[in-house]
Amino acid sequence: MDTEAPGSSAPEQHPIEFTASGSEYFRIWIVNLLLIVVTLGIYLPWAKVRKLKYFYSNTWVGGDALDFHGEPVKMLRGTLIAAGFLIAYSVGSNFSGWAALVAALAFVALWPALFRASMRFRLANTSWRGLRFHFAGDLRGAYASMLPPLALALLPVALAGAMGSVPADADARPELPPMLGGVVGICMLAFMAGIPYFLWRIRRYQHDHYAIGPLQTRLKADLGVLYGIFIKLIGISFVAAIVVFVAVGLFAFIGRKAGMGVGFVVTAALAGFAGILLLNILPKSYLQVRLQNLLWSTTGNEVLRFDSQLKLGGYLGLQCRNYLLIFLTLGFYWPFAVVKTRRAQLEAVALHTRVGLDQISQVARREDPGAAGDMAADLFGLDIGM
């Protein structure tokens, strides 16, 4: 439940600090990568726990760091469940379209429940000042937010694949009934048009149910603003595609006229990186920055709220450097890029409270509803990184 502010004092601001270093995380990352390869993926939960423990222990709020308490053995069960879904769908697709449809139906039916279990597991195993967080979302909310987009995106395609895989006779090529093809098209259009709405529903389900003790957050993001972000994203992507198309045509024309000298090759390489920037980094960075600022700046309650002021220009420059250095180092700069990106994202966020953090932690500790262990959250140990 929400807790009323006990007083009307001026809000206190508590910046979030991230103290991880790229060199430290590189050592964790390279060992994790090698052990995952050697164990054929079995080490993945242990790798995830090592990463989360390092990142959480370097995330500081009000002078105290977060901590992660998840157990790799329990997370292994969740990893196997997720892998089972992928294997069932892959094998089913190769064996029979109808088998793939059954796998898709099972995925749609169970994924919201597994998503909720993942949220509960992650929050129940995250602590600050010795207090465990918890996720208060119910199963009904999970299905209400996730079932419509999953059904629209997967089931019509799976049904079309199943019907198209069984011809009427041995000599005929499988053909979809025109009505089914139209239904698939309508469903895909509805899914594409509804992406901002579906994202808003899912994020609202998440941000409405983050809790520590009796303090539970609420999301007040406006759906119209979210649609505005996606409309601008489409415009940015469209303009970027036109610029890249014209640039490629121009370079092809110049190359035929002037020959393929060293200068042309270097210039073409730089132009290729610029194309990657326009088609990938720019739209992706724009979406990440706008979503973070919108969602976290509208999350809170009467006692506390978050404020995100991530700047697009600085973040875009950071991502350009990260992509370039990852390319030049054949991927070995990746952990440094992850740390720098996480630092930019976290340190752009501040926590504003109407009372002191000591008072908040005392109230949370006094009224914590069994934070020592959400046993249902540990049932599968599922953590899908949401």
How do residues 220-265 score in pLDDT, each as one tens digit? 999 999 999 999 999 999 988 888 778 777 766 766 666 655 555 6
- E strand or H helix that includes residue 299: strand 299-300
3-state secondary structure of 68: strand
Can you point out the beta strands (E) in 9-147? 12-18, 59-61, 64-68, 126-128, 131-135
What's the residue count for the chain? 386
Residue type, 236: I
Mean pLDDT, the chain, integer: 84
Residues with Cβ within 8 Å of 151's Cβ and at least 6 positions away in sequence, in order, are: 108
Q: How far is CA 46 from CA 31, 69, 76, 228, in A?
A: 11, 12, 8, 40
Mean pLDDT is lowest, of 62-76, 304-318, 329-343, for: 62-76
Q: How far apart are CA 167 and CA 333, in angstroms?
A: 51
Q: Does the structure show a pLDDT above 60 at 386?
A: no
3-state secondary structure of 81: helix
Q: How far apart are CA 233 and CA 147, in angstroms?
A: 25
Q: Does the structure show a pLDDT above 60 at 209?
A: yes
Q: How far apart are CA 232 and CA 229, in angstroms?
A: 5
Q: Which strands form 304-308's sheet, in the order they lie side by side?
A: 215-216, 210-212, 131-135, 126-128, 64-68, 59-61, 12-18, 349-353, 304-308, 299-300, 218-219
Encoded tokens for 260: 């393929």
Residue 305 DSSP symbol: E
How many C-beta neighbours within 10 Å does residue 207 have?
Answer: 20
Q: How far apart are CA 209 and CA 266, in angstroms?
A: 52
Q: 58 falls in which pLDDT band (50, 70, 90)?
A: very high
Q: 267 falls in which pLDDT band (50, 70, 90)?
A: low
Partners of 14 in the beta sheet? 351
Encoded tokens for 236: 């940015």
Per-residue pLDDT, 255: 64
Is the CB of residue 78 less than 8 Å from the CB of residue 383? yes
Q: How far apart are CA 132 and CA 128, in angstroms?
A: 7
81 vs 39: which has the higher pLDDT:
39
Is the CB of residue 65 less than 8 Å from the CB of residue 56? yes
Is the CB of residue 66 less than 8 Å from the CB of residue 56? yes
Encoded tokens for 49: 């726990």
Residues with Cβ within 8 Å of 146's Cβ and at least 6 positions away in sequence, in order, are: 111, 112, 115, 202, 205
- The predicted model scores a pTM of 0.85
- Domain positions in the chain: 1-19+58-220+357-386, 223-297+310-347
Per-residue pLDDT, 177: 65
Per-residue pLDDT, 174: 54
How many C-beta neighbours within 10 Å does residue 370 have?
Answer: 10
Q: Give the highest mean pLDDT range of 1-10, 154-163, 300-309, 376-385.
A: 300-309
267 vs 51: which has the higher pLDDT:
51
Q: For 109-150, how does the pLDDT look when each residue is reduced to its tens digit (9 = 90+)? A: 988 998 998 899 999 999 999 999 999 999 999 999 999 999
Encoded tokens for 284: 């992706």
Q: How far apart are CA 5 and CA 353, in angstroms?
A: 9
Encoded tokens for 204: 């609202």
Question: Residue 126 — φ and ψ, nearest 5°?
Answer: -110, 135
Q: How far apart are CA 305 and CA 14, in angstroms?
A: 11
Q: How far apart are CA 76 and CA 84, in angstroms?
A: 12
Place of tokens 């949401």: 386
Residue type, 373: G
Question: Residue 365 — φ and ψ, nearest 5°?
Answer: -70, -35
177 vs 362: which has the higher pLDDT:
362
Q: How far apart are CA 222 and CA 294, in angstroms?
A: 9
